[in-house]
Structure 1
Amino acid sequence: DIPVFKKDVNGNASEAALLKFTETIFAGIGAFRQKHIKLTEIPFNSTEKYQVSVHEFNSSDGYFIVEMKGAPERILDRCSTIIIQGLSVELTPTLKLEFEEAYLEMGGMGERVLGFADLLLPMSKYPISYEFSADPPNFPLENLRFLGLISLIDPPRAAVPDAVAKCRSAGVRVIMVTGDHPITAKAIARSVGIITTPTAEDIAKQRGVTVLDIDSRQATAIVVHGGELREMKAEELDAVIYYHNEIVFARTSPQQKLIIVEACQRRGEIVAVTGDGVNDSPALKRADIGVAMGISGSDVSKQAADMILLDDNFASIVVGIEEGRIIFDNLKKSIAYTLTSNLPEIVPFLFFVIFDIPLALGTIAILCIDIGTDMLPAISLAYEKAESDIMARMPRDPFEDRLVNKKLILMAYLQIGVIQTVACFFTFFAIMAEHGFPPSRLKGIREDWDSKKCRRP
């Protein structure tokens, strides 16, 4: 038999962790499910942030039980009692304060915290023949009994901190958008390097004042709650993005992800956004580059995206950025190399026509140069390795720094092209002089030079 914690589980990571945890308590989870059959369910959604199901219970106090799990603060708001040492007691302000302290302690360690509640339905109102419906729900969702908290450790991949650091050095701004609690989101953001400076809350704590006494612009890092984002005007959100370099949006919905993308684009930013759910599709479509998750992503999100991340790894996006820069760099090298030979090939024909001198570079010679010495080296430049500073440069301006721009043309024609032309003509005149034709004699002899009468029999 395979140990519980080594079994492979397909599906959501949080659900998989909960399943393995319950397997350690209930030896036969399948038998437990058969005993308490699920009758109806309200799936988790990003708006309500909880999931509810009704199960058979068959006790002396009732036939059915309502089970709820989700964001702890949302669950607690729907509870009127709490279970302590097996007894249900009233949920007092003191107990709520203890809940808040425990929640903040676990969230501050970067752990994902879930709250749980239940309610045994009285058999007088819900007889054994009662038919449940989830849309709309015909069972209570208030006055539940709070059961407790479970915290899950979902550590970022080992490569993420290095990937975030590379993004920072490359001038790529990483904004974290998550459904986690702000405390959890902030702890995770700090662990991977998305937040490296104090937030307004941190500054207020250091100075022993309230957050209201601190100008939010004094802090370059900020954590924005989805509720605050909902109340913000477009100008206020623009100010948040403008004045803060390190931003985390917590307890957000997929719809708010679209608002964040649009706010970044209003500042002229090129935006890449990741998503895996159906509700992420609008943001994926709106972004300049939509990146869907290849493993956990839905089919709808994959269709809406421009790119699919096969391994669901953020570090792979950074590798893609680096490869893209290498390709762009090498294409510019290849184009510049190809353009430099144009001037030394054209000028001999101009001299041939204008100054009536012999043609320094014939048609066959040009073909040999273009096919033999231009094509293969130009192709080989596409396989050049990255420059040492490839990920230390700022992102290029798509409207100014094009593949072929004024700077590249001037360098190819007026710098390298002129040098090649001068070198070629110096060689031409030197060889002609060695054979008795100094430059002064070359002018005006084109017809005689090409005449068949002047050739040896």
Structure 2
Amino acid sequence: VANVPEGLLATVTVSLALTAQRMAQKMVLVKNLESVETLGSTSCICSDKTGTLTQNRMTVSHMYFNRKIVDASVNYEMWQLEQKKEKPDDKMEVNYDLNDSAFQNLVEAIILGTYTIFNYDATDEEAKQLYAQMKGIPAASLEGKELSVQDMKEMKARLKVAEEKLPFIRRACKGDASETGLVQFAQAIKDLNQTRKTFPTHVYKNEANKDTECLIPFSSDIKFNMFIRNMEKVQNLSGDMNDNLCIFMKGAPERILNRCSKILIGGQEVEFTDELRNEVNEANAQFGNLGERVLAFARCTLDPSKYTKDSYQFDMKTWKTWGNQKDTKSAQEYADIEGSYPMHDLTLIGVVSLNDPPRLRVDLSVQKCRSAGIKVIMVTGDQPPTAAAIANKVNIIKHPEREFNHMVKDLGMDPDAAWEQSTGIVVHGDELAKMHLSQANLADDDPNKGNYLQRWISKPEVVFARTTPSQKLLIVDACQKAGHVVAVTGDGVNDSPAIKKADIGIAMGSGSDVAKNAADMLL
């Protein structure tokens, strides 16, 4: 290169290509050659939690209903299969009662408040492997070859039949990972398809005479989803409220609990007093401290005299203008708005927590990064207790007793003294939003703009919880302004903007197509 400088371009390109080739052997696909060089100079990693640091295999762990916490970690179908064995495991016990009406109400709310279904589509590769197995030939011999249409169809049909015979907890689902864990648990107790068919999502004809489905899909912005279900068990019994329409809502506890004025206890809807609210919050905190994702379920039976099935036009487009205002306390405040329906004054049915174990050896990987001087920040949509517990398990927070909020709230320390002595901080997305709003009038080139974020990320151990996609962008931008070369790892659609913004974006191979398209590198 010294004698022929023109060779520099070829030398660098070949070096990067060889490195990319070696990384491919380690199951890392490099989409952009320049990212190989960037990876070597990375000084900060902003990592998503679910599906990146954890396995994204959600299983129901605990439930809170009827003023009690129940261990629901044993799937009922798996317990039944265990009992059929000659020597069943005595330690495998079901701690919930299938005849308990409160438990059945919660299971029904899980089924009617979710849209994930059991769905398995066999791939061409799986079909080839089965064909090779049946013919007694090596699968490698079919590489680059195509099966006949008839053989491919037969193999996929066989795989589908075999998959349907698996226990529900092992069957493939189409939908959100959290909902997958919920429906795999509920299916063993109540049939998913039959229950949803009995109580379908309400559909009405709009002004253009087109069918409008009454549901609000989940998003990382609102952090809940909602269905309006037709609960009519007996035809033409519209005078009975229990056979009319009913709202089912599922989402983050802080979003759902604020909308509830009643709670279901002993089959009765009673006032949601401060005492009962504290009980639910305590259960939520207890589940969060175990590192579990927590979801709350609520419902509201609609008055048939106002919300008629054949004529009422439910507002599914502009509901945010009246149903998602922070200062709204009661449904009465927007009851007169055309097309409105109760999104407050709901009845809390219960709370469910799901366990998502960390990926194997991820704690060692984080420790290696820290030893190499790379800062690892967790950025997640989960609530702070859950995020902090998982961060502790994977070595992102090594000293939970010296976390800022713990020192202020639990130990009663002065905030200034706690800040000086703390080594880590867990920041709530609402706090980030409030601080960002307070600096909205500052010019982009103002040195004080975003100084609160610079202060937070100066701590050795940092976790951001309950964040939105736009807030993830702010965090990445702040790290870059602090002089870091930033890598962002994620798997979801909500991670994509931050992956694109980062100096190097890394997506999980098991993640969404949007995240993989935005990334420079795939794991």
Interval containing the TM-score (normalised by the shorter chain): 0.5 to 0.7
Q: Tell me the CA shift for residue 213 of structure 1.
A: 6.1
TM-score by length of 2: 0.56
Q: What amino acid is the match of 2:422?
A: A
1:347 is matched with which residue?
none
Q: Tell me the CA shift for residue 253 of structure 1.
A: 0.6
The answer to whether 1:196 aligns with 2:377 is no
2:422 is matched with which residue?
219
Q: Tell me the CA shift for residue 127 of structure 1.
A: 1.4
Q: Tell me the CA shift for residue 297 of structure 1.
A: 1.5
Does the CA-based 8 Å contact 2:218-2:225 persist in structure 1?
A: yes
1:264 is matched with which residue?
479
1:85 is matched with which residue?
266
Does the CA-based 8 Å contact 1:204-1:214 persist in structure 2?
A: no
Pick closer, same or farther for the CA change 1:211–1:92 going to 2, 3 Å.
farther
- For residues 214 and 43 of structure 1, what CA distance do their matches in structure 2 show? 44
- For residues 118 and 205 of structure 1, what CA distance do their matches in structure 2 show? 33
- For residues 112 and 278 of structure 1, what CA distance do their matches in structure 2 show? 19
1:295 is matched with which residue?
510
Q: Tell me the CA shift for residue 69 of structure 1.
A: 0.6
1:182-261 mapped onto 2 (5 Å cutoff): 182-197=384-399, 198-204=402-408, 208-210=411-413, 212=415, 214-232=417-435, 234-242=450-458, 244-261=459-476
- Match 1:145 to one of 347, 364, 387: 347
Q: What amino acid is the match of 2:232?
A: N
How large is the RMSD of aligned CA atoms in angstroms? 1.8
- For residues 215 and 513 of structure 2, what CA distance do their matches in structure 1 show? 21
Q: Tell me the CA shift for residue 278 of structure 1.
A: 3.7
Does the CA-based 8 Å contact 2:384-2:428 persist in structure 1?
A: yes
Does the CA-based 8 Å contact 2:220-2:494 persist in structure 1?
A: no
- Match 2:201 to one of 26, 32, 38: 38
- For residues 58 and 296 of structure 1, what CA distance do their matches in structure 2 show? 39
Does the CA-based 8 Å contact 1:200-1:214 persist in structure 2?
A: no
2:518 is matched with which residue?
304
Does the CA-based 8 Å contact 2:247-2:301 persist in structure 1?
A: yes
Q: What amino acid is the match of 1:9?
A: C
1:291-440 mapped onto 2 (5 Å cutoff): 291-299=506-514, 301-309=515-523
1:96-175 mapped onto 2 (5 Å cutoff): 96-129=277-310, 130-137=312-319, 138=339, 139-175=341-377
Q: What amino acid is the match of 2:390?
A: I
Q: Tell me the CA shift for residue 304 of structure 1.
A: 2.2
Question: 1:213-237, CA deviations, whole angstroms, 9 ceiling, x for partnerless residues?
Answer: 6331321111000011112350111
Does the CA-based 8 Å contact 2:404-2:426 persist in structure 1?
A: no
Does the CA-based 8 Å contact 2:505-2:518 persist in structure 1?
A: yes
Does the CA-based 8 Å contact 2:358-2:394 persist in structure 1?
A: yes
Which structure has the greater CA radius of gyration? 1
- For residues 279 and 108 of structure 1, what CA distance do their matches in structure 2 show? 24
- For residues 181 and 104 of structure 1, what CA distance do their matches in structure 2 show? 9
1:450 is matched with which residue?
none
Question: 1:137-190, CA deviations, whole angstroms, 9 ceiling, x for partnerless residues?
Answer: 432211111111000001111221111111111211110001111011100100
SS in 2 for 1:38: coil
Pick closer, same or farther for the CA change 1:213–1:173 going to 2, 3 Å.
closer
Q: Which has the higher contact order (CA 8 A, sep 6+)?
A: 2
Does the CA-based 8 Å contact 1:204-1:213 persist in structure 2?
A: no
- For residues 220 and 420 of structure 2, what CA distance do their matches in structure 1 show? 30
Q: Tell me the CA shift for residue 203 of structure 1.
A: 3.5
- For residues 161 and 223 of structure 1, what CA distance do their matches in structure 2 show? 18
Which segment is superposed worse, 282-291 or 82-91?
Answer: 282-291
- For residues 457 and 405 of structure 2, what CA distance do their matches in structure 1 show? 18
Q: Tell me the CA shift for residue 128 of structure 1.
A: 2.2
- For residues 49 and 205 of structure 1, what CA distance do their matches in structure 2 show? 26
Q: What residue ranges of structure 2 are gaps of 5+ in the alignment?
A: 1-164, 203-213, 234-239, 320-338, 440-449
Q: Tell me the CA shift for residue 211 of structure 1.
A: 5.5
Does the CA-based 8 Å contact 1:275-1:297 persist in structure 2?
A: no
Q: Tell me the CA shift for residue 210 of structure 1.
A: 4.1
Q: What amino acid is the match of 1:303?
A: N
Q: What amino acid is the match of 2:299?
A: D
SS in 2 for 1:148: strand
- Match 1:17 to one of 167, 172, 181: 181
Pick closer, same or farther for the CA change 1:94–1:214 going to 2, 3 Å.
farther
TM-score by length of 1: 0.64
Pick closer, same or farther for the CA change 1:249–1:153 going to 2, 3 Å.
same
SS in 1 for 2:364: helix
Q: Tell me the CA shift for residue 279 of structure 1.
A: 4.1
Pick closer, same or farther for the CA change 1:265–1:113 going to 2, 3 Å.
same
- For residues 268 and 509 of structure 2, what CA distance do their matches in structure 1 show? 46
Q: What amino acid is the match of 1:111?
A: E
- For residues 279 and 149 of structure 1, what CA distance do their matches in structure 2 show? 25
- For residues 68 and 211 of structure 1, what CA distance do their matches in structure 2 show? 39
SS in 2 for 1:25: coil
Pick closer, same or farther for the CA change 1:205–1:119 going to 2, 3 Å.
closer
SS in 1 for 2:473: helix
Question: 1:409-439, CA deviations, whole angstroms, 9 ceiling, x for partnerless residues?
Answer: xxxxxxxxxxxxxxxxxxxxxxxxxxxxxxx
Q: What residue ranges of structure 1 are gaps of 5+ in the alignment?
A: 310-457
2:488 is matched with which residue?
273
Does the CA-based 8 Å contact 2:407-2:418 persist in structure 1?
A: no
Question: 1:302-341, CA deviations, whole angstroms, 9 ceiling, x for partnerless residues?
Answer: 33221223xxxxxxxxxxxxxxxxxxxxxxxxxxxxxxxx
- For residues 395 and 353 of structure 2, what CA distance do their matches in structure 1 show? 22
- For residues 351 and 409 of structure 2, what CA distance do their matches in structure 1 show? 27
- For residues 63 and 205 of structure 1, what CA distance do their matches in structure 2 show? 46
- For residues 273 and 265 of structure 1, what CA distance do their matches in structure 2 show? 12
- Match 1:47 to one of 207, 210, 221: 221
